[in-house]
Amino acid sequence: MRFIEFLREATKSATKKPQTSATGKKPSASSKGLEDKHVAITFGRFNPPHAGHGKLLDAVKAHGGDSGNYRIYPSRSQDHKKNPLSAHQKVEHMRKMFKDHADKIQNNEAHRNVFDILRDLHDEGHEHVTMVVGDDRVKEFESLTNKYNGVHYDFKSINIKSAGARADDSDDPIENLSASKMRAHAQGGDHESFHAGMPKGYSKKHSQALMQDVLKGMTPPPKKSKKKSEIHEQTLWEYAPKLDYDAFRNHYMLDHIFKVGALVEHDDTGLRGKVVHRGTNYVIFEMPDGSEHRAWLQHVSEVNEPTEHEQEVAADTTKDQSNYSADDGSGNTWKVGTDAYRMALQDMTPGQATKKFSQFNTEIRKTAATK
């Protein structure tokens, strides 16, 4: 049986009437349909991940409902300031740190921002999305995601839920955690304070490895000159602007950062664009499609123009989740549910084209609509 035929059979089976249970009651069609078509998600920088993120992941799981359909999307951004860890490093550490959520933590090069994610979820056939964000981001995400519903994707409902309010003056040490503070601990070489931000039971060996990855990522390559190589020492306002906002804003007011024309990335959504207006405490940037987005200064980062190779990688969706591997040294890098596994099976099927699942689903829906 060809792969496309297998999917058609699976689709037919899914649409059959549910059988009556032993109690004589049929499952609720509305609740079952909602479970099948609903997914809960979050998108975050996790740079670095810490115990406080565990509450966020638990909240996303809870909103996933009984079906357990939820996903965690770490951002793809990386720099030597606020984003020292690469996406691959974040995923690796997060899967060790939050083992109960390990298989829900995504690593897909094509998911650069929330629009990429929502577009893929829609293509997969989801009709309802619940997105869990920080309490201070709810209104922003409600406006943004619903504004483009019907443009970049088309869901029947998009619900934005708060992960819970966080008080900086709380006595709860977990609630007081922040990635900014964790980066400051790493920069200061304070492993004791850094480890205190890890989930209970997380080994010092693993937290030491995480801190070293953070510290290495915060160390920019030396600037080459005719005289000597100089290493730029990062200051607090650069890698943790929330902890030294006055210095950060002073550099902004002096036009040292976020100049008109600079390429910036919105930390909360992954959206990128060039600055077209500088406000007192915000910038407006224009995205490639011509639309504009307003963001607070502390929620954006300057990024370098993507290289030709980076643009090719971003456009190459055949490599989605290629590193999402179960490699145990045997050379087998396939993991069930990943694109690497799908492509391997398709390659072994005579006459079968190599396509994404979303493409098969689209073909099936088109075929069904014409009958």
Q: Map out the domains of the chain as residue ranges.
A: 32-167+174-219, 236-302, 339-370
User: Tokens at residue 49, please?
Assistant: 């991940």
Residue 163 has pLDDT above 50, yes or no: yes
Q: Binning pLDDT at 50, 70 and 90, where does residue 361 land?
A: low
Could you report the per-residue pLDDT of 69-100, keeping only the tens digit for each?
999 999 998 988 899 999 999 999 999 999 99
Instruction: Indicate yes or no: pTM above 0.75.
Output: no
User: Which amino acid does the sequence have at 255?
Assistant: D
Residue 179 has pLDDT above 60, yes or no: yes
* Yes or no: domain 236-302 corresponds to CATH 2.30.30: yes
Instruction: Find the mean pLDDT for residues 324-333.
Output: 42
DSSP class per residue in 320-358: TTTT-----SSS----TTSHHHHHHHHHTSTT-----HH
CA distances from 179 to 4, 47, 175, 262 (A): 45, 6, 12, 25
- Strands 300-302 and 292-296, how do they pair? unpaired
Torsion of CA 120, 124, 126, 129, to 10 degrees: -20
Q: Binning pLDDT at 50, 70 and 90, where does residue 7 land?
A: very low
User: Tokens at residue 310, please?
Assistant: 């980076």
Q: Looking at residue 165, what is its pLDDT?
A: 72
d(CA 314, CA 305): 13
Q: Binning pLDDT at 50, 70 and 90, where does residue 355 land?
A: low
Choice between 352 and 291, residue whose per-residue pLDDT is larger? 291
The CA-CA-CA angle for residues 298, 248, 180, to 5°, reads 55
Q: Binning pLDDT at 50, 70 and 90, where does residue 162 land?
A: very high
User: Tokens at residue 127, please?
Assistant: 């009709």
Q: Looking at residue 100, what is its pLDDT?
A: 95
Could you report the per-residue pLDDT of 227-280, keeping only the tens digit for each?
554 555 668 878 778 878 888 889 999 999 999 999 999 988 999 999 999 999
User: Which amino acid does the sequence have at 12?
Assistant: K
d(CA 194, CA 329): 31
Cβ(152)–Cβ(119) below 8 Å: yes
Least confident of 44-58, 181-195, 336-350: 336-350
- 212's CB contacts (< 8 A; 6+ apart) are none
Q: Looking at residue 367, what is its pLDDT?
A: 61
d(CA 300, CA 257): 11
Share of the chain above pLDDT 70, in %: 67
Residue 328 has pLDDT above 50, yes or no: no
Torsion of CA 135, 136, 141, 147, to 10 degrees: 130
The yes-or-no answer to whether 32-167+174-219 and 236-302 have a common fold is no
Q: Is 207 in a helix, a strand, or coil?
A: helix
- DSSP 8-state secondary structure symbol assigned to residue 241: G
Instruction: Find the mean pLDDT for residues 21-37.
Output: 50
Q: Looking at residue 304, what is its pLDDT?
A: 78
Instruction: Find the mean pLDDT for residues 345-365.
Output: 60
Instruction: Find the mean pLDDT for residues 8-17.
Output: 45
Alpha helix (H) residue ranges in the chain: 3-14, 29-37, 51-64, 87-97, 114-123, 138-147, 179-187, 191-195, 204-217, 236-239, 245-253, 308-315, 339-347, 357-370
Q: Is 286 in a helix, a strand, or coil?
A: strand
Alpha helix (H) residue ranges in 15-165: 29-37, 51-64, 87-97, 114-123, 138-147
* Yes or no: domain 32-167+174-219 corresponds to CATH 3.40.50.10860: no
Share of the chain above pLDDT 90, in %: 52
Q: Looking at residue 371, what is its pLDDT?
A: 55
